[in-house]
Structure 1
Amino acid sequence: MERIHAPQPGETSFAGSLPSELRRPLGPRDPGDAWVEGDRGRFWGRFGSAGLLVHDPSKGVLLQHRALWSDHGGTWGLPGGALHQGEEAIDGALREAKEEAAVPPENVRVLFTSVFDVGYWTYTTVVAETLMPFDPAISDPESLELQWVPLEGVRDKELHPGFGASWPGLRRRLLDLPDGP
């Protein structure tokens, strides 16, 4: 498994000389960066959210070890986040993956999307395959680590609950397997 680690406390990085505990983004940066609440729970992204599941057949899928300050921090999931107003889910997932993991959008091809919809909020998983290999890089404070994980190893990680619930179906579709357990 290929790993990319975040700078440790006291190290300098893209955030300059700030210690890691001060690197959390301060306040909303876009009107979409807000919580929405309803009878099915509280979710991040006023206009919905999207994430990019990148599959490289030789390396596996790119997972993000989420920053501890984030919702379900310390779990593994996909680079992604809140959509901007009027932004399409595919565009948002590609933008977020570039911002968080330096995924070059020109190096991937979208295969399909999967939408989780609670009525007042949606999360779109955009599944893509690599066209050209690339090295992901932590490019904002939302990641502790990035890692290419073989498909059979994903379930061994402590997954973000939403991603964990969707992974079996996403894996089946990615591998074009029939529905089943």
Structure 2
Amino acid sequence: MNNLLKLLGLGILLMMTGCATTGAATSDTGATNPAPAESTTAGVPIFQATDINGETFDLSAHIGSEVVFISFWATWCEPCKTEMPLIQQLHDDYGSKGLKVLSVSLDGPDTVSGVEPYIQTQGYTFQVVVDEDTSIAQAINPRTVAPFTVILAKDGQVAKTIEGFQLSESEHIIATVKDLLGLGG
């Protein structure tokens, strides 16, 4: 019985801090990054993907003009669902000020059918693509951790990566976005 309680507690802890991760870990990068390779943006490959509405997302169309917020998530990941209102808030508050929000679902064949209904039911309006074969994730988020966020500065350099999500980090994430947009921290 005692072991069962320990396992239950561990499961709850993992759900609260991140799916397939040990917690939120952030990394601020910038000037110390090497020059981007021809097909990448400081380690983030330029990619195109079709979203759940049939529209194309092309990362290269946003480099040079917008800060890009890319969030990897899945319908089965509770911390991901906890992060989604913040992503919507960023989209609502800063989308018209130079922020492009892209949500990349890591749902596979067993759960992919739930992505579009979940997004619609929740009323989320940011762009969502499904990375069912994890090709985008493998290039940007090789461990395919969810939630995982990459924030690109307007010049395409990786400004911040965030592994996992904790609600207490929301204000710091907002401040990072505002700073990159030149709106103050």
Q: Answer yes or no: same fold by TM over 0.5.
A: no
TM-score when scaled to structure 2? 0.29
Higher share in helix: 2
Higher share in strand: 1
TM-score when scaled to structure 1? 0.29
